[in-house]
């Protein structure tokens, strides 16, 4: 009886040692694989974090610049109101007063192809072969049009009016479907339902309606291929 108990204890101990040994092998295997897997996960997370951070930084910088533009425009308007007009000069010989128009190379200035009149006109200055709007300068109204488009329209119609999966390319609308100023105002004001999707009416949005002409200036300059994609610089 005592011998049987000893045999049972020895068998149990051997089983326990085997289990411990197997557990050790299992843990050893895990300890070898886990650092490699953890390293991959860490690298992937770090890469994703860097991409998101870069996107947020770019967006914030652009919004800050847009706010700065609005502040500068407000300051200019205030200065126009509070700055007194210079006193008139009396008995001054005409020869003393000289004016000189600003000299701008004719080939550098682009203007609207649309006939003048009630149609809003744009002014764009781009160096030859410019591939980005950053190298170009536009008049104040066209710049405000770009800013309004970036704020209100880009989320659907894509950057620089090139379209998206659920809103059409506005360059095609202007050039291939003949959207003119009258049609542009009608669609923006009252909305439109097409094959790709439905555009809401902006009639009750005071900001969009205030900048309607400027939006047209910017998009027409883009459609005329006078202004490359991207953010333009405002003429001083």
CATH number of the domain to which 195 belongs: 1.10.760.10
The verdict on residue 172 lying in a domain is yes
The verdict on residue 59 lying in a domain is no
Mean pLDDT of 126-133: 94
pLDDT at res. 19: 46
Which residues constitute the domain of residue 227?
Answer: 121-234
Q: Which comes out higher in pLDDT, residue 5 or 56?
A: 56
- What is the tally of structural domains in the chain? 1
Query: What proportion of the chain, given as a percentage, has pLDDT over 70?
Result: 52
Residue 150's closest CA among 59, 73, 37, 81?
59
The verdict on residue 177 lying in a domain is yes
| pLDDT, tens digit, 9 for 90 and up, residues 31-74 | 445 556 677 767 766 766 776 565 566 556 666 666 667 666 66
The beta-strand segments (E) located in the chain are 109-111, 123-125, 137-138, 192-193, 198-199, 233-234
The token pair that represents 83 in the structure block = 């700055």
Contact 106, 123 (CB under 8 A): no
The verdict on residue 220 lying in a domain is yes
pLDDT at 28 over 90: no
The continuous run of DSSP H or E covering 115 comes out as none
pLDDT at res. 43: 72
Kindly report the average pLDDT of the chain as a whole number.
74
The verdict on residue 160 lying in a domain is yes
pLDDT at res. 83: 43
pTM of this prediction exceeds 0.85 = no
pLDDT at 119 over 80: yes
The verdict on residue 33 lying in a domain is no
Give the separation between CA 225 and CA 130, rounded to whole angstroms.
Answer: 11
The verdict on residue 75 lying in a domain is no
Identify which of 38-42, 109-113, 197-201 has the greatest average pLDDT: 197-201
């Amino acid at each position: 009886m005592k011998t049987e108990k000893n045999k049972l204890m020895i068998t149990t101990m051997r089983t326990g040692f085997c289990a411990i040994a197997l557990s050790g092998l299992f843990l050893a295997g895990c300890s070898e694989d886990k650092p490699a897997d953890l390293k991959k996960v860490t690298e992937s997370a770090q890469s994703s974090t860097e991409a998101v951070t870069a996107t947020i930084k770019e967006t914030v910088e652009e919004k800050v610049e847009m706010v700065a533009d609005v502040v500068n425009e407000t300051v200019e308007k205030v200065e126009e109101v509070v700055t007194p007009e210079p006193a008139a000069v009396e008995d001054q010989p005409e020869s003393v007063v000289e004016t000189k128009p600003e000299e701008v190379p004719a080939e550098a200035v682009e203007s609207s192809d649309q006939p003048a009149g009630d149609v809003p006109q744009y002014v764009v200055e781009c160096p030859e072969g410019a591939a980005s709007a950053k190298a170009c300068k536009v008049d104040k109204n066209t710049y405000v049009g770009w800013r309004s488009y970036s704020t209100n329209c880009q989320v659907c119609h894509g950057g620089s009016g090139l379209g998206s999966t659920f809103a059409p390319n506005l360059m095609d609308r202007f050039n291939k479907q003949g959207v003119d100023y009258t049609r542009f105002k009608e669609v923006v004001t009252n909305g439109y339902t097409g094959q790709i999707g439905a555009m809401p009416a902006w009639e009750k949005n005071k900001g969009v309606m205030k900048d309607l002409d400027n939006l047209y200036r910017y998009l027409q300059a883009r459609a005329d291929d006078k202004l490359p994609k991207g953010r333009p610089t405002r003429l001083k």
